């Protein structure tokens, strides 16, 4: 798990408690996803390259730093959409591209149903999905983003299972996973335990 970053900040623990609570209403759940995504994005962008730029303050000219790298956000539909706005608050210039998967309940394998990429891939991609469970969708998404032509990829997820992390790291050892919590395990139905339920249903109030 050398390329896995689990956030340990006290605010992460605080917001995670509210996120996991089954009694947390949808609007607060969405807010918690947003707050945690901001913290994930802050950590995941810590090593972005910067370039010097000369500006003029009200007092004088000075040299500052800015980010020129072209970046893309790739939310895995539909739950990943709940993370986009928070990342764009930090990176307004980031593009958003989409991948859609659903889980075949008989095989537990991901089935692609939507893809929207451009002809010109960004330099860096952040794959967004609140939950990394079996790792199937994550591995497929990473493979598709690599095929698109992106060489530097990170995955941001609110919670992750050890099984999902292991699978992603086995198949894509060059990808860094940023998560707010590594949970205990997957149950017999491949749901994360203790987990937080179905993130998509809770974000979009479709329980």
Decide: 157 and 129 in contact? Cβ < 8 Å: yes
Other C-beta atoms closer than 10 Å to the C-beta of 123 total 14
CB atoms within 10 A of CB 104: 11
d(CA 175, CA 155): 7
Query: Which residues does residue 181 pair with via DSSP β-bridges, in sequence order?
Result: 159
Cβ count near 131 (within 10 Å): 26
The angle formed by the CA atoms of residues 112, 70 and 180, to the nearest 5 degrees, is 60
Residue 112 is classified by DSSP as E
Q: Where in the sequence numbering do the catalytic residues fall?
A: 103, 107, 198, 201
The total number of residues shown for the chain amounts to 207
The angle formed by the CA atoms of residues 151, 91 and 134, to the nearest 5 degrees, is 55
């Amino acid at each position: 798990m050398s390329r896995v970053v689990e956030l340990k900040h006290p605010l992460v623990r605080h917001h995670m408690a509210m996120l996991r609570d089954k009694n947390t209403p949808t609007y607060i759940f969405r807010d918690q996803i947003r707050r945690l995504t901001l913290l994930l994005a802050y950590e995941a962008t810590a090593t972005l390259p910067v370039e010097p730029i000369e500006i003029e303050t009200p007092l004088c000219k000075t040299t500052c730093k800015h980010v020129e790298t072209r970046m893309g956000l790739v939310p895995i539909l539909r739950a990943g959409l709940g993370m986009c706005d928070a990342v764009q608050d930090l990176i307004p210039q980031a593009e958003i591209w989409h991948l859609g998967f659903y889980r075949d309940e008989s095989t537990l394998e991901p089935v692609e149903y939507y893809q929207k990429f451009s002809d010109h891939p960004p330099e860096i991609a952040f794959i967004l999905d609140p939950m990394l469970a079996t790792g199937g969708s994550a591995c497929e998404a990473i493979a598709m983003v690599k095929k698109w032509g992106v060489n530097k990829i990170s995955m941001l997820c609110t919670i992750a299972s050890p099984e999902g992390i292991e699978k992603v790291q086995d198949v894509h050892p060059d990808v860094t996973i940023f998560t707010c919590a590594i949970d205990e395990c997957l149950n017999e139905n491949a749901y994360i335990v203790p987990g937080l339920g179905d993130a998509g249903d809770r974000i979009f109030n479709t329980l």
